[in-house]
Structure 1
């Protein structure tokens, strides 16, 4: 059976066949029913199996008719039935609600909604600001406002007086007290449970303008307070208890100081002993005085240290001649030595042998002083006060000591200056 075109009712061959809207069409016959515009499978619209273009596609329209008494009665019955059904379900679900604490997400959402509402309100207020004209109240308007206020107060007091005697305060019955106590206990248990559940969870919220302002003010107040306390304690001394680490450092420093002192002292003594001209300048070493009991009568009969000194020979050493010159044993005018005293033989001065000077052994190099806690500067910083230090990026800060939140004390290794610096400008290295 041959296929017929729905437009011209002629035979449709396969090469020009177009099947659409449950009918067969020639490609040239597939046109809009109104304007005869040639259509294709992409831009046609069918209505009652007839092709149309987008412009002439028929649209459905509605006709508004007045409600008949029957329709109004049905609508009213439906509304009443809906209200009855709603209240019935509400009464059933009345005791099935559970009050829970607001989570941080809900609180943050409420705060954001409130902020958005305020922003929207202010924007609408600014937009409508120029649309209103403020005029002064006329005497008639003022009278009307005053009368309305008075009438409202009178009506309020009248209703209050009417309902004043309708309420009676009674003591709580045991059942009510028990119910109140149970409610309080349940509330405490629920609070503890919610607190335990949210104990280890953190919520990150964006900083608002108020939070940033408060944080900046707190930082400024802390800095002012710190500088005020620093100025007060500038000339005072604080006595703190030495911890074991400080005591150990003090002990090691004392031991090292003692060792260093004695080592230098021994070295000086050795150098003095090795000096070749010591006896030439100072003469022979003086003997140490003994005790009186050491002088026995048999050997020192009639003699005294004073007479012995005057009786002994005088010896003079001439460095130019190199010989001993003996003086007379007894000069004229000297007192006569006591009987039984034998003068000692003349003595000659023997110079000490020359000794070659030997340099002291090299001392071991002292270890460099400890740099303590070392930090590295992340940014450039310029001091804002006399007790602060300036530094540049990548400078090393040695002997750092944290003092307060956000501040520390240290020495800039490049310049050797020591003072206060912000701890968020540096990072620890060791």
Structure 2
């Protein structure tokens, strides 16, 4: 059956066919009913299945009439049927979703909606600022608030337990990899720039509680590591070659030791040397008178009679001996007797006694409540009723101490022991 044009009633072939307003038209016959302007599918307007242009499109008018009971009943039935149909379709589509790609127009519309929402929110917030309406919570409202809070906590914990230890790994797309690489490069560039700008400058910030705790933990861990290495190296000797610096230090130490020793010796010698000076200030000691017999005249074996006469000495007889001692010649003065002074002797001073070393303090002493077996190399094992000495708390739950029975030192749980002193 051939198709007829609605305008010229001639056969319409597929190449020039135009289907619109439930009729078939030639493309050249699809014209405005009033001005005969050629129309297309974009600029036509249909009225009673007749095409019109925008200018000659007939305007519609309405006549207000009173709703009769029949019209009201029909309107109510239509509304009910519409609600039933809507809910029926809603229940069918519940849980089903259709994902479509966001077009640029949709993205622009979403962004505009978001901006408008923020503007409206901030405008309402500024208008309602400092305006409050206080109402009393009724028992029903309090009950509702408590139930909502409980339900929220239960729902949160239920979802949290379900999603615990569940992860979804997705592959990085090329865009994400490029973004990560760019972010890494920008971070490195910014870091180098900030490092160059801040080189040589210092910033002082107050120590927070977390920084003080971290510093104290670091110091305790360092002390534990030091004592562990010290216990391992105890009793071991390391022989190293004396370099010139070490030999110079040894030589200086020996010289200083000799100087200190000779300083005491020179002080004693100086005290002995000062003694004759004191005697010189007080005056020479009176010599003891000697005997005339100690002085014998020179024997003159020859010469003139005058010299022999002058050289003759008078003889003084001693009643004790019965023998005369020659008298010294006139004008002769006997020299004072020389007093012999022995060389000063160095007095030996014993070194002062070394004070006795006090017994090492045991510090904080704890008693083991249970048996404990070490789980790591830096821990110690002990048995029940063992004494732990020199205990030092490290952090919450752990401390460091030495087992008095075995002499081993390391970390141990603080809840396994109780303090004694």
- Output the TM-score relative to the length of structure 1: 0.20
C-alpha change, 1:268 and 1:225, in structure 2 (3 Å) is same
Structure 2 contact 228–378 (Cα < 8 Å) conserved: no
What secondary structure sits across from 1:113 in the alignment? helix
Within 2, Cα distance between the matches of 1:309 and 1:120? 158
1:106-159 CA deviation, whole Å, 9 max, x = no partner?
Answer: 999999999999999999999999999999999999999999999999999999
Q: Please report how far the alpha carbon of residue 78 of structure 1 lies from its aligned counterpart in structure 2 after TM superposition.
A: 14
| Rg larger in structure | 2
**What are structure 1's unaligned runs of at least 5 residues?**
324-332
Q: Please report how far the alpha carbon of residue 19 of structure 1 lies from its aligned counterpart in structure 2 after TM superposition.
A: 2.9
Q: Please report how far the alpha carbon of residue 39 of structure 1 lies from its aligned counterpart in structure 2 after TM superposition.
A: 0.6
What secondary structure sits across from 2:264 in the alignment? helix
- Moved segments of 4+, more than 4 Å: 67-323, 333-430
1:378-408 CA deviation, whole Å, 9 max, x = no partner?
Answer: 9999999999999999999999999999999
Which of 178-187 and 130-139 deviates more? 178-187
Question: How much is the aligned-residue C-alpha RMSD, in angstroms?
Answer: 27.2
1:298-355 CA deviation, whole Å, 9 max, x = no partner?
Answer: 99999999999999999999999999xxxxxxxxx99999999999999999999999
Which of 352-361 and 147-156 deviates more? 147-156
Within 1, Cα distance between the matches of 2:111 and 2:308? 115
Within 1, Cα distance between the matches of 2:360 and 2:336? 63
C-alpha change, 1:145 and 1:425, in structure 2 (3 Å) is closer
Within 1, Cα distance between the matches of 2:208 and 2:7? 71
- Output the TM-score relative to the length of structure 2: 0.21
Which of 196-205 and 77-86 deviates more? 196-205
1:68-97 CA deviation, whole Å, 9 max, x = no partner?
Answer: 588799999999999999999999999999
**What are structure 2's unaligned runs of at least 5 residues?**
none
Within 2, Cα distance between the matches of 1:135 and 1:178? 56
Residue number in structure 2 paired with 1:57: 57
Q: Please report how far the alpha carbon of residue 283 of structure 1 lies from its aligned counterpart in structure 2 after TM superposition.
A: 20
Structure 1 contact 8–29 (Cα < 8 Å) conserved: yes
Structure 1 contact 276–355 (Cα < 8 Å) conserved: no
Which of 140-149 and 27-36 deviates more? 140-149
C-alpha change, 1:178 and 1:252, in structure 2 (3 Å) is closer
1:230-272 CA deviation, whole Å, 9 max, x = no partner?
Answer: 9999999999999999999999999999999999999999999
Structure 1 contact 21–46 (Cα < 8 Å) conserved: yes
Structure 2 contact 389–403 (Cα < 8 Å) conserved: yes
C-alpha change, 1:63 and 1:171, in structure 2 (3 Å) is same
Structure 2 contact 45–51 (Cα < 8 Å) conserved: yes
Q: Please report how far the alpha carbon of residue 25 of structure 1 lies from its aligned counterpart in structure 2 after TM superposition.
A: 1.7
Within 2, Cα distance between the matches of 1:275 and 1:392? 74
